[in-house]
Amino acid sequence: MSKRNSEALFRLIKSMKPSEKRYFRLRFQEDASGLKYLQLFDYMDQQDEADDQAILSDLPRIARGQLSNLKSHLYTRLMQCLRQYSQPSVSDIQIREMIDHAQILYNRSLYDQCADMLLKAQRKAAKTDNLELQLEILKWKKNVLTQTVGPGNEQRVNGLIQDVREVNERINMINKFTNLGVKLNSMFFRTGFISNQEEFDRIRKIYRDGMPEYVEDKLSLNEKLSLYQVEAGYFHYIQDFNAGLESATKWVALFDEFPDLRYSRTDTYLTAINSMMIAQNKLYLYNAFVENTRRLREIRHYPSSVINDNIRMRLFKYTYVHEFNRIFMLGDFAHGVSLMKKIEHQMEEFIRFLDGHSRLILYYKVACLYFGDQKYGLAIQWLNRILNSDAVDIREDIHSFARILNLISHYELGNMDVIDYYIRSTYRFLLRKDDLKQFQRSILDFLKSMNSSVSEAELIQAFRSLRDKLILLRENPYEKRAFIYFDIISWLESKIQSRPVAEVISSKAEYIIHEHVEL
């Protein structure tokens, strides 16, 4: 087993829950030939990192020439065991097992029993609307029909052909939705929100060309799930948050209409909730936003068989990211910093398992949290994680605005000796990424003009002038994305009014939330 595969075995063992490990040990205790597997499993379970030399040194019964094959077979045994462990609670695994049983019966020429098994599998697959498994079942039903000729055979054949055609059409429709969604996601993860008319026209054309013709009321459950997902993603991309909220609301409503989906498609349910909360956050629908946190809390209490590592990780991520968003909406940054102190160690452990995109988002939100609480040094520390990252082709917009916030943080700390260097560095980055928009240029020009000879009155006037420019830019559909990342206008108003930025944001929030309640 190669070093890479050895690491894969180690990580698989570490991912197992205590109950899964107990199940595996019990299975091997019953197997006299499995002693070496069990010894290797227990030893690797105690290791802090994969170390083959330590295994060979501490387990003398395992010869060097045996280790590679032993680890390879242990990996296979673990996967088989985890499949058996999950089988009672995961309907798709149950259906696949039925199909396997049907194949065994078919190969033994027990066609009647095979047909009965396929019928059970088909009924179960229909409940979860798993089209791929339904197609596999229909394939075996065709095989059985070729071996069983009797009264009404032609009618059964015609019905089967129609079933296959309908399932294929639905799979084809879903593939068109999901292909479009994956394409848009990959573009968004690279550049972030659209920044000019040319980008908007290109994204809109991709969306329109890739979206198949459909009648929404005639779509099946799975087709609607896929449709609303691609719609919500597209509207988020082009910053049409009202339309995005409408699609996300319909998406979540499907899980309310079919509650069992929450357990069989928990991953998708989480994505739908996240999409809805993002739109509510951008639209400042605070009360509806907070109400949706109840959905996240409910998922924590789902059966342990449903909450796998992927669900647990995403639930943790969405819970804290949206808690940060709630804090930003209220301007309650001090509470956010207090929360960070409690979870900082847990957060660092969590960050290790995040994908590159999620990691960047989290770094930026934590930096904004500290900035809002006027802890600029800590904000810079988190921003440096972005600035020093090699992943500059992921969310180029986050990289751009991290540099702007870094400059402002240094300005707040009075680090005027490094401001000029960071301005030149930021200019070079934005020009290289073709992202030097009027928003960035206005702030860079403002900071460039700041020096020790500027009087207090001139400084306040400069803040006012910059604020007025940015207020006008906020109405520009391709400049407004800048205000998604941090409320820079509130920061300017805090400087003009000599008030903490948190206090300014909090006052605005109170008015906006009250206004939405009145509506």
* pLDDT of 519 over the 50 cut: no
Interval 275-280 mean pLDDT: 95
pLDDT confidence of 18, banded at 50, 70, 90? confident
Number of domains, the chain: 1
Residue 67: count other Cβ atoms within 10 Å of its Cβ: 17
The answer as to whether 29 is a domain residue is yes
No. of H helices and E strands in the chain?
A: 26, 0
Angle between helix axes 241-257 and 221-237 (nearest 10 degrees) is 160
Least confident of 187-201, 376-390, 475-489: 475-489
Decide if pLDDT at 377 tops 90.
yes
- pLDDT (tens digit, 9 = 90+) per residue, 215-234? 999 998 899 999 999 999 99
At 180 the pLDDT is 96
For 215, residues 6+ apart whose C-beta sits below 8 A from its C-beta are: none
Per-chain mean pLDDT for the chain: 85
Per-residue pLDDT at 2 exceeds 70? no
- What was the pLDDT predicted at 485? 66
Query: Taking the chain, what is the end-to-end CA distance rounded to the nearest angstrom?
Result: 64
Lowest mean pLDDT among 16-30, 47-61, 113-127: 16-30
Encoded amino acid at 442, one letter: S
Give the pLDDT confidence of 130-163 residue by residue, as tens digits: 888 999 999 999 988 888 766 677 788 888 899 9
What pLDDT sits at residue 435?
A: 58
Q: For residue 268, is it within any domain?
A: no
Tokens (6 digits) for 442: 């206005």
Q: Determine what percent of the chain is predicted with pLDDT higher than 90.
A: 30
Top mean pLDDT of 58-62, 101-105, 356-360, 500-504 is at 101-105
Contact 440, 399 (CB under 8 A): no
Tell me if 72 is assigned to some domain: yes
| Phi, psi at 288, each rounded to 5° | -65, -35
Q: Could you say which DSSP state residue 425 is in?
A: H
The answer as to whether 57 is a domain residue is yes
Segment 3-23 shows an average pLDDT of 82
Q: What is the pLDDT of residue 251?
A: 97
pLDDT at 101: 93
Judge whether 61 lies within some domain: yes
Position 496 in a domain: no
User: Over 90: is that where the pLDDT of 277 sits?
Assistant: yes
The one-letter code for the residue type at 109 is S
Q: 91-105, 352-366, 478-492, 498-512: lowest mean pLDDT where? A: 478-492
Q: For residue 159, what are the CA distances in angstroms to 138, 152, 154, 163, 253?
A: 11, 11, 9, 6, 33
Report, as an integer, the average pLDDT of 169-179: 94
Q: Judge whether 291 lies within some domain.
A: no
Please give the pLDDT value at position 518: 46
Range 359-370 average pLDDT? 89
Query: What range defines the domain where residue 53 resides?
Result: 3-86
pLDDT of 340 higher than 50: yes
Residue 22 falls within a domain, yes or no? yes
Report which of residues 413 and 305 the model is more confident about: 413
Give the pLDDT confidence of 39-83 residue by residue, as tens digits: 888 889 888 888 888 888 888 888 888 888 888 888 888 888 887
Extract the tokens encoding 402. 């991290």
Q: State pLDDT tens for residues 389-433.
A: 877 677 777 888 888 888 889 888 988 888 778 888 877 777 766
Which of residues 474 and 188 earns the better pLDDT score? 188
Is 252 a residue whose pLDDT tops 60?
yes
